Amino acid sequence: MLLPFAFALHNFEEALSMEKWTKSLPDHIHKPVTTRQFGIAVLLFSILGFAVTLTKGFYRTEQYYYLVIAGFAGMLFLNVFLPHLAATVFLRKYSPGVISGLLINLPLSALVLFNMVNLNVLTVVQLMISIVVGGIAGAFLAFIFLKFGKLIDEKCR
């Protein structure tokens, strides 16, 4: 139940400085985003995080719920390394989200994923598939939500 709160906090950390950070980078590394555009994207992402986590009763089976949660936790786990930690190391400067990623999302998501296998909720194979699917879905949704945020941002100008 803590995953969506950690994710929202992480998204808030990113939103505070993403516009300034992206404007300091070459376009081929990261195209500039506005605070509004990024705020819309992470708001949608945060809402989705709460929705998938807090709607357990709407899933067909409990097993399906745990697969989705493992995907969500896996996305958070992978997100610490790509892009946050990689960007911080490669660019040699703070990447928005790296602090909450390392201090909150990494230990929490690792604990959730470890417990799913340790408590026999999921097999290692199910867990790995969920992590990969969650990471791919997260990257795809980030792209979609940023495009949607850009569309709204342009209409509000």
Distance of alpha carbon 71 from the chain centroid: 11
Is the full-model pTM beyond 0.75?
A: yes
Domain coordinates of the chain in residue numbers? 3-156
Higher pLDDT, 157 or 152: 152
Using alpha carbons only, give the angle 91, 94, 107 rounded to the nearest 5 degrees. Answer: 110
Q: Report residue 78 as tokens.
A: 């992978």
Q: Which long-range contacts link 47-56 to residues 24+ away (Cβ below 8 Å)?
A: 48/141, 49/3, 49/4, 49/7, 49/8, 50/4, 50/8, 52/4, 53/1, 53/3, 53/4, 54/1, 54/4
Q: What is the pLDDT of residues 113-152, one digit of tens each?
A: 999 999 999 999 999 999 999 999 999 999 999 999 999 9
Q: What is the pLDDT of residues 36-45, one digit of tens each?
A: 999 999 999 9
Rounded to an integer, what distance in angstroms lies between the CA atom of residue 93 and that of residue 76? 21
Counting residues of the chain whose pLDDT is more than 90, the rounded percentage is 96
Longest dimension (CA), the chain: 52
Q: How far is CA 14 from CA 33, 98, 119, 122, in A?
A: 12, 8, 33, 31
pLDDT at 157 over 90: no
Using alpha carbons only, give the angle 121, 8, 110 rounded to the nearest 5 degrees. Answer: 35
Q: Report residue 46 as tokens.
A: 């945060």
pLDDT given for residue 1 in this prediction = 85
Using alpha carbons only, give the angle 153, 77, 134 rounded to the nearest 5 degrees. Answer: 70
pLDDT given for residue 151 in this prediction = 97
Return the sign of the alpha-carbon dihedral for residues 78, 138, 98, 54. negative
- Write down the residue that tokens 């139940």 correspond to: 1
Q: What is the pLDDT of residues 39-69, one digit of tens each?
A: 999 999 999 999 999 999 999 999 999 999 9
